[in-house]
Amino acid sequence: MELKTVESIPEATILFAGDSGDGMQLTGSQFTLATAYAMNDLATLPDFPAEIRAPAGTTYGVSGFQLHFGSVNIQTPGDEVDLLVAMNPAALKVNLERVRKGGSVLVNTSAFDKRSLDLAGYDENPLENDSLEGYQLIRVELTKLTREALKDSDLNQKEIDRSKNMFALGLALWLYSRPVEPAERWISAKFAKKPDILEANLHLLKKGYHYGETTEQFVSRFEVDPASLEPGRYRAIQGVHALALGLLAASVESGLPLFYGSYPITPASDLLHTLSRYKQFGVMTFQAEDEIAAVGATIGAAFGGSLAVTGTSGPGVALKAEAIGLAHIMELPMVIVNMQRGGPSTGLPTKTEQSDLLQAMYGRNGDSSLPIVAPSTPGDCFEAAYEAARIAVTYMTPVMLLSDGYLANGSAPWLIPDPAELPSFPVKFATKTNATIEGEEVFHPYVRDRETLARPWAKPGTANLEHRIGGLEKQDETGNVSYDAANHEMMTRLREEKTDRVARDLPPLDIYGAKEGDVLVVGWGSTRGSIQAALDRLLAAGRSVGAVHLRHVNPLPLDLEEICGRYRELIVPELNNGQLVRILRDKYLLPFRSFTKIQGRPFMAGEIVSYVESVIDGGQDNG
Amino acid sequence: MADDKKPRKPTLPPGMGGKSAAAGGKLPPGKRPAPTLPPGKSASATLPPGKRPPAKLPPGKRPPGKLPPGKRPPGARPPGVGGDGASGLTRADFSTDQDVRWCPGCGDYAILATVQRLMPEIDTPKENVVFISGIGCSSRFPYYMKTYGMHSIHGRAPTIATGLKASRPELDVWIVTGDGDGLSIGGNHLIHLMRRNVNVQLLLFNNQIYGLTKGQYSPTSEKGKVTKSTPFGSIDHPFNPSALVLGADATFVARTMDRDPKHLKRMLRETHDHRGTGFLEIYQNCNIFNDGAFFEYTEKATKSDRTIFVENGKPLVYAGGTMGLRLNGLKLEPIDLTGDKWSKDDCLVHDETSVELAGVIGRMFRVDTLPQPFGVFYRVSRPTYEDQLHSQIQDVLDRRGKGKLGELLNSGDTWEVSG
């Protein structure tokens, strides 16, 4: 029964917003799933407060889920919102500025009562004055319609009202011609043991969907064609799940059992949750009493021959710093995952930021340079995690893996990798003595591989290789405690040189856009999508710009300096107060410009476009 | 935080030279502390005479292990125990070529010698033994044990041991810590180790002082103690380590002393044989910064009256059998067994499995009217952390079979994009 016209559009951005208890994250993730089924490209930005249930109706309790999808290449969650679904006045107040002029605002008019308006800080009802002029206002009495739809249900009033997000989801699915079945299947599985709620949710989902067809508020609905993605099998994946799978893949391919030690912290806890479910792969997860115990146990597991990983966010890395130094001087392989969030201190726990780069570089006592790997998209978290583990074991070193809240929570379509095509991950444990003292065969734990400078990994349980390691400086080769001045200098330089040698293995950098010209944009980590979306616009406008994106921040790729020399201007966009830019200036003594945003949100492509244009057109001091 | 400086050679710190010798202030008149010999010298004194094992294997050879390591029921002894060499190894096989850098006269020497002497008697293959320590004088221990070892960072040895034992349950993991390392900076890890009941041994060398940082009061120092950091006396109330770990639901709690090598060795053995976290507090004399802290309990003149060595199933008697302890209501009361009024039958009988009794004995702590208890206060069986961890994994493997990476990657909602 298609009564409405269908308008085909290349892309759209939708934002679901409501109270933290309104189920907006669930609504958003179900819309994402349906969008994946519709085979669009997509990127998401869940955005929620640190409070679990902030007081209802307040602006600080607003939870949002933004989704950008299309038949075209989608790299960011969208600069501007085409459709805002606002469940209450506070959600409208907080998010209206993100809606493009001429965009649509769907409001739950039932929630615009005096009390809710007061809570949101509205002096007068925005639905009744001209404040929404310039937007297409879609009024839906969501709460009322939900109550009517469930008037025969056994659920109580609270449960009924809480289900209204399903009505909204159904309506949104209809509006963008998404399939309803994935959400139906999910609801059926989720509430299998609660038939009342199951039935109510399915009923509301359908009611919402049909409401779109019958209401006269919509003259047309939209359709977004499948995106032209590289052929293969896809799934929509959140960065945190891809990262867990990457670690697991490293464990399977290396044959090393995976040990994950962690202490709950936003936004890294989901990594612990995910890995704790992989017991059929022998994965050991350990929820420690604190961050230090988590990294300590990880060091113990590394000593014992496991693929040892600890995960946390910036505050946790601060607590682990001393132990990471220990792993560095003992030269044990492990991966430290930092899901960065807004800092300093507790900062903005649920918001994204890239401000722990200098902490990863320098945040320990003594000279202790560690390899730093940074994923750039949700799907890339898989490869980056695998790579971090491989470097750790190959070079016998702790490796920092710098993800962030945006990557962890964001979703994107992911071309599922074939395990057979993963890079090889050989592991060699020491089994024999490697030195002789006065005719006796002995084992020296700090005899190094000539290529990688890695020391041998001798697991306890291996006969005749008994040895002691620790935090005191050690003599080269023998590993005995040494306070010798020259030895300390040599060992410090050796450890740094070992980190530097990781660069020898790195593939050449990919240059996006112009291979030489006016501007090179140098990015790292989760800003890749924003930078490339910006470059697409700049290139389309005929600008001479290129971009390189660093997965490896330490050591830096060997070809970076040469590439930098091909451009007139160098720009480093970061979600911090300028961190990579300091490293680059220090290393290359070139005039890199810093472009920063410190708002707990990713870059909008438009922001980067404006900055690059202003640099090319000569309006920016080198800041 | 204790920094880690190179320990000084024999020279005593200024002003300390006389103090060590003048420990007589705490000693009974005319009594001198036991001679402070280097470990090699004192060793022979405690070797059980004539207890050489019959068969000696060439060095490095071991008889095939009969039981998986750590699987021995509590208390069971492997055959042939009684002296060095039961496993074909000797104490020398467990000594490294590193110079031992503790101050001459330190109680740590005796503990090291006793542990090295015990090692050949336990039926764990040498390569499966791991010593892990934190920071402090006691934490140098692993460097002197010719086993796998790690000298880690301040207070964190229990965490490292937990990760190692959880991931490699077949290893025999020993934690060596002190009162500062284990109870101050690492106090949190210590209590969590106890509640998890990881099957490791924790040896707490308690000297009631910070030695490596040169003489500040520790969390076990007595209130009022004058140290470098408390020139007017400490105002800190000290920990009672036994009560602390009992509060954390430790499954094995014992105390011994550096100056009673026989008891020390027996307690080390019992601690090792306990399946679960074995907590052994060792009173250890720091002859430089806190000389004589335990002389009341360790020296001949007072030891008998001021200590009670508890044994499972036996009445609580001390002072050569002339005194006993009975329970009067909820309180312990010393009773004179030499008169007509009381006999051994009136004494409280120790039961290691009673948490209530462990509480009573554990709280017999520096009370003027009561002796200080030594021995095993508490020993119960509870599933270990690593057993539960691996049985959960095994359960899932049994139910679902071994995971396949390709299947997991392709699970959930997927779709195909054709070329």
Nearest to A249 among B167, B170, B405 (CB): B405
Identify whether residues A145 and A33 lie together within a single domain. yes
Decide if pLDDT at A15 tops 80.
yes
- The ipTM of this complex is 0.93
- Cβ of A281 under 8 Å from any chain B Cβ? yes
Is the residue at A499 inside a domain? no
Written as tens digits, the pLDDT of chain B (419 aa) is 444 444 444 343 343 433 343 333 344 444 444 444 444 444 333 434 444 444 444 444 444 444 444 444 444 444 444 444 457 899 999 999 999 999 999 999 999 999 999 999 999 999 999 999 999 999 999 999 999 999 999 999 999 999 999 999 999 999 999 999 999 999 999 999 999 999 999 999 999 999 999 999 999 999 999 999 999 999 999 999 999 999 999 999 999 999 999 999 999 999 999 999 999 999 999 999 999 999 999 999 999 999 999 999 999 999 999 999 999 999 999 999 999 999 999 999 999 999 999 999 999 999 999 999 999 999 999 999 999 999 999 999 999 999 999 999 999 889 988 87
- Quote the DSSP letter at residue B140: G
> Rounded to the nearest 10 degrees, how much is the dihedral formed by the CA atoms of A448, A454, A455, A459?
-150
CATH number where A261 lies: 3.40.50.970
Q: Do A226 and B417 touch (CB under 8 A)?
A: yes
| Nearest chain A CA: its distance from B96 CA (Å) | 10
Name which residue leads in pLDDT, B55 or A559.
Answer: A559
- Cβ of B100 under 8 Å from any chain A Cβ? no
The 10 Å Cβ neighbour count of residue B336 is 12
In terms of C-beta density within 10 A (0-12 exposed, 13-18 middle, 19 or more buried), how is residue B114 classed?
A: buried
Q: Look at strands B307-310 and A517-524 and give their pairing.
A: unpaired
The 10 Å Cβ neighbour count of residue B75 is 11
- Cβ of B171 under 8 Å from any chain A Cβ? yes
Nearest C-alpha in B relative to A459: B148
Name every chain A residue with its beta carbon within 8 A of the beta carbon of B149.
466-470
Q: Do B163 and A304 touch (CB under 8 A)?
A: yes
Q: Do B405 and A299 touch (CB under 8 A)?
A: no
Name every chain A residue with its beta carbon within 8 A of the beta carbon of B116.
none
- CA A339, CA A331: separation in Å to the nearest integer? 24
Nearest to A37 among B125, B135, B415 (CB): B415
**pLDDT tens-digit readout, A482-514:** 999 999 999 999 999 999 999 999 999 999 999
Q: Do A233 and B149 touch (CB under 8 A)?
A: no
- CA A447, CA A439: separation in Å to the nearest integer? 18
Nearest C-alpha in A relative to B409: A416
Q: Do A235 and B167 touch (CB under 8 A)?
A: no
SS3 per residue for A277-317 = CCHHHCCEEEECCCHHHHHHHHHHHHHCCCEEEEEECHHHH
Q: Do B143 and A470 touch (CB under 8 A)?
A: yes
Q: For residue A519, give the H/E element and its range.
A: strand A517-524
- Cβ of A439 under 8 Å from any chain B Cβ? no
Q: Do A293 and B4 touch (CB under 8 A)?
A: no
Percent helix / strand / coil, chain B, rounded to 5: 30, 20, 50
pLDDT of residue A217: 85
- Cβ of B195 under 8 Å from any chain A Cβ? no
State which residues form the domain around A109. Answer: 5-223
Nearest C-alpha in A relative to B173: A460
Q: Which of residues 289-308 of A touch B (CB under 8 A)?
A: 289-290, 292-306, 308
User: How many residues in chain A?
Assistant: 623
- Cβ of A182 under 8 Å from any chain B Cβ? yes
Identify whether residues A112 and A188 lie together within a single domain. yes
Q: Do A416 and B143 touch (CB under 8 A)?
A: no
What value, to the nearest 5°, has the Cα angle with vertex A234 and ends A231 and A236? 145
- Cβ of B130 under 8 Å from any chain A Cβ? yes
Q: Do A293 and B189 touch (CB under 8 A)?
A: yes
| Nearest chain B CA: its distance from A387 CA (Å) | 17
Q: Look at strands A435-437 and A440-442 and give their pairing.
A: antiparallel
Nearest to A326 among B152, B409, B413 (CB): B152
Q: Single out the residue of B311, B274, B260, B272 nearest to residue B118, CA to CA.
A: B272
Sorted by sequence, the CB contacts under 8 Å of residue B201 that are 6+ apart come out as: B173, B174, B175, B268, B271, B272, B274, B277, B278, B280
Handedness of CA A19, A271, A285, B403 (dihedral sign): positive
**pLDDT tens-digit readout, A587-619:** 999 999 999 999 999 999 999 999 999 999 986
Is the residue at A427 inside a domain? no
Of A421, A450, A472, the residue at which a domain comes to its end is A421
Identify whether residues A18 and A140 lie together within a single domain. yes
- Cβ of B398 under 8 Å from any chain A Cβ? no
- Which residue, chain included where needed, has tokens 């930078």? A531
- Quote the DSSP letter at residue B185: I
Is the residue at A268 inside a domain? yes
Identify whether residues A27 and A135 lie together within a single domain. yes
Is the residue at A506 inside a domain? no
Nearest C-alpha in A relative to B399: A280
Identify whether residues A213 and A246 lie together within a single domain. no
**A108 three-state secondary structure:** strand
| Nearest chain A CA: its distance from B58 CA (Å) | 15
| Nearest chain A CA: its distance from B378 CA (Å) | 25
Is the residue at A429 inside a domain? no
Is the residue at A497 inside a domain? no
**pLDDT tens-digit readout, B130-188:** 999 999 999 999 999 999 999 999 999 999 999 999 999 999 999 999 999 999 999 99
Identify whether residues A137 and A184 lie together within a single domain. yes
Identify whether residues A14 and A150 lie together within a single domain. yes
Is the residue at A426 inside a domain? no
Of A176, A196, A223, the residue at which a domain comes to its end is A223
Cis bond upstream, residue B59 (ω within 30): no
| Nearest chain A CA: its distance from B281 CA (Å) | 22
Confidence of residue A219 (pLDDT cuts 50, 70, 90): confident
- Cβ of A417 under 8 Å from any chain B Cβ? yes
For B282-311, b/e burial (b = at least 16 CB within 10 A) is: bbbbbbbbbbbbbbbbbbeebbeebbbbbe
Number of domains in chain A: 4
**A400 three-state secondary structure:** strand
Decide if pLDDT at A530 tops 70.
yes
- CA A314, CA A575: separation in Å to the nearest integer? 14
**Which tokens belong to A190?**
């989720």
Identify whether residues A167 and A46 lie together within a single domain. yes
Q: Are B342 and B317 in contact (CB under 8 A)?
A: no
- CA B393, CA A584: separation in Å to the nearest integer? 46
Q: What backbone phi and psi angles, to 5 degrees, belong to B150? A: -145, 125
- Which residue, chain included where needed, has tokens 């280097």? B38
- Cβ of B168 under 8 Å from any chain A Cβ? yes
Identify whether residues A206 and A58 lie together within a single domain. yes
Identify whether residues A137 and A172 lie together within a single domain. yes
**pTM greater than 0.95:** no
Q: Are A15 and A65 in contact (CB under 8 A)?
A: yes
- Quote the DSSP letter at residue B99: P
- CA A46, CA A67: separation in Å to the nearest integer? 8
Percentage with pLDDT > 70 across chain A: 99
Name every chain B residue with its beta carbon within 8 A of the beta carbon of A440.
none
Q: Do A231 and B419 touch (CB under 8 A)?
A: yes
Sorted by sequence, the CB contacts under 8 Å of residue B236 that are 6+ apart come out as: B217, B219, B221, B223
pLDDT of residue B48: 42
Q: Number of Cβ pairs closer than 8 Å across A and B?
A: 206
Is the residue at A43 inside a domain? yes
A426: left (phi over 0), alpha (psi -120 to 50) or beta: beta
Identify whether residues A259 and A337 lie together within a single domain. yes
Q: Are A165 and A22 in contact (CB under 8 A)?
A: yes
Sorted by sequence, the CB contacts under 8 Å of residue B339 that are 6+ apart come out as: none
Q: What backbone phi and psi angles, to 5 degrees, belong to A291? A: -60, -35
Sorted by sequence, the CB contacts under 8 Å of residue B100 that are 6+ apart come out as: B38, B39, B109, B112, B144
Identify whether residues A322 and A271 lie together within a single domain. yes
What value, to the nearest 5°, has the Cα angle with vertex B240 and ends B235 and B242? 170
Name every chain A residue with its beta carbon within 8 A of the beta carbon of B417.
39, 226, 229-234
pLDDT of residue A621: 62
CATH number where A524 lies: 3.40.50.920
For A38-50, what is the mean pLDDT?
92
B266-272 own/partner pairs: CB under 8 Å, 24+ apart:
B267/B375, B267/B376, B268/B114, B268/B115, B268/B118, B268/B201, B268/B203, B269/B118, B269/B121, B269/B122, B270/B75, B270/B376, B270/B379, B271/B201, B271/B203, B272/B118, B272/B122, B272/B172, B272/B174, B272/B201
- Which residue, chain included where needed, has tokens 């009361």? B333
CATH number where A119 lies: 3.40.920.10
Q: Which of residues 248-287 of B touch A (CB under 8 A)?
A: none
Q: Which of residues 51-70 of B touch A (CB under 8 A)?
A: 60
| Nearest chain A CA: its distance from B248 CA (Å) | 13
Q: Do A461 and B409 touch (CB under 8 A)?
A: no
**Which tokens belong to A600?**
């707990």
Nearest to A462 among B127, B145, B156 (CB): B127
**pLDDT tens-digit readout, A199-217:** 999 999 999 999 998 988 8
| Nearest chain B CA: its distance from A247 CA (Å) | 11
